[in-house]
Amino acid sequence: VTGATSGIGLEIARGLAGLGARVIMVGRDPGKAARAAEQVGGSVEVALADLSSLDAVRALGAELLERCPRIDVLMSNAGVYRMRRRLTVDGFEETFAVNHLASFLLTHLLLDRLKASAPARIVMVASGAHHGAVLDLDDLQLSRAYGHWKAYSRSKLANVMFTYALARRLDGTGVTANSLHPGFVATHLGSGNHIPVRPFYWVIRPFVRSPRAGARTAVYLASSPECEGENGGYWFDERRVSSSPFSLDEELQERLWAESEALVGLP
């Protein structure tokens, strides 16, 4: 489970550990990751990686292959919301890099192991924020006109489109790929922008979900026998629902795939 140190990811880890799974919680801060693992208890372990760096993602992939003779579920959950445009060590816009490119690369690095472990499941925590977003494949790094909502919603659109393209390739392998919207959840998303998010979430608390409720569909997709074999869906509240018309464009999904391969240096 990536992004398991906080919010929805922490509750996904708790939910899966509660079902008896051996869970590897991926975090970037050693202290925070250790505290999160302690909070969850049970059969959880920690792996460390700053997913804004492609080298760190590659190292994480290698470490997970070393530590996990089988992988039943890959839960791509880590995400950021950046008010201002920031570049990663690789020179990519950070929201796109963490929310999409890291998941794209990690999935590829673990794919053979997931196939060898079939039946296995890939679950992508996307967002309803993708509705209304449009991906400009000529400016994936938003170098022309950055907007925080634009960057975030496009990265979540990329999650949905990547999952569809992945599901097509996985057809018949015993590995499934689905994305989901967790609902509007009171978490720490948006922190790290020098703007306190806690008071904001405190005010809106009565109108949003708890992280535990936000984790429910992800845990369902990772573990429920009911969705065994379900592939290529977009889910909300444990039901398959429609994603945006834009996300369904297969030609654009394939262009995004090819661009992402080039950006992360896959052949």
Ligand X SMILES: NC(=O)c1ccc[n+]([C@@H]2O[C@H](COP(=O)([O-])OP(=O)(O)OC[C@H]3O[C@@H](n4cnc5c(N)ncnc54)[C@H](OP(=O)(O)O)[C@@H]3O)[C@@H](O)[C@H]2O)c1
Question: Which residue's CB comes closest to ligand X?
Answer: 7
Tell me: does residue 52 bind ligand X (CB under 6 A): yes
What is residue 27's three-state secondary structure?
strand
Amino acid at residue number 251 = E
Angle at 116 between CA 114 and CA 18, to 5 degrees: 50
Tell me: does residue 7 bind ligand X (CB under 6 A): yes
84 vs 80: CA distance, rounded Å? 12
With respect to ligand X, which residue has the nearer C-beta, 3 or 233? 3
Tell me: does residue 5 bind ligand X (CB under 6 A): yes
Of the residues 19, 30, 32, 139, which one makes contact with ligand X according to CB under 6 A: 32
- Supply the minimum distance, in Å, between the C-beta of residue 171 and ligand X: 25
Of 148, 156, 134, 159, whose CA–CA distance to 85 is shortest?
Answer: 148
130 vs 132: CA distance, rounded Å? 6
31 vs 21: CA distance, rounded Å? 23
Pair of tokens at residue 88: 């990663």
Tell me: does residue 28 bind ligand X (CB under 6 A): yes
Q: Is 220 marked active-site?
A: no
- Supply the minimum distance, in Å, between the C-beta of residue 184 and ligand X: 5
Stretch 119-178 residues interacting with ligand X (CB under 6 A): 125, 127
User: What is the DSSP secondary-structure string of 160-178?
Assistant: HHHHHHHHHHHTTTTEEEE
Of the residues 6, 107, 163, 247, which one makes contact with ligand X according to CB under 6 A: 6
Tell me: does residue 61 bind ligand X (CB under 6 A): no
Of the residues 115, 148, 188, 240, which one makes contact with ligand X according to CB under 6 A: 188
127 vs 193: CA distance, rounded Å? 20
Q: How many residues bind ligand X (CB under 6 A)?
A: 27
Tell me: does residue 205 bind ligand X (CB under 6 A): no
Residue 225 DSSP one-character state: G
Edge-to-edge strand list for the sheet holding 73-76? 73-76, 120-125, 175-181, 234-236, 239-241
Stretch 225-254 residues interacting with ligand X (CB under 6 A): none
Tell me: does residue 105 bind ligand X (CB under 6 A): no
- Supply the minimum distance, in Å, between the C-beta of residue 8 and ligand X: 4
Tell me: does residue 93 bind ligand X (CB under 6 A): no
Contact 260, 100 (CB under 8 A): yes
Crossing angle for the helix pair 211-223 and 7-18, nearest 10 degrees? 50
- Supply the minimum distance, in Å, between the C-beta of residue 51 and ligand X: 4
- Supply the minimum distance, in Å, between the C-beta of residue 28 and ligand X: 4
Site residues, ligand X (CB under 6 A): 3, 5-9, 27-29, 32, 50-52, 77-80, 98, 125, 127, 181-182, 184-185, 187-189
Catalytic amino acids? 152
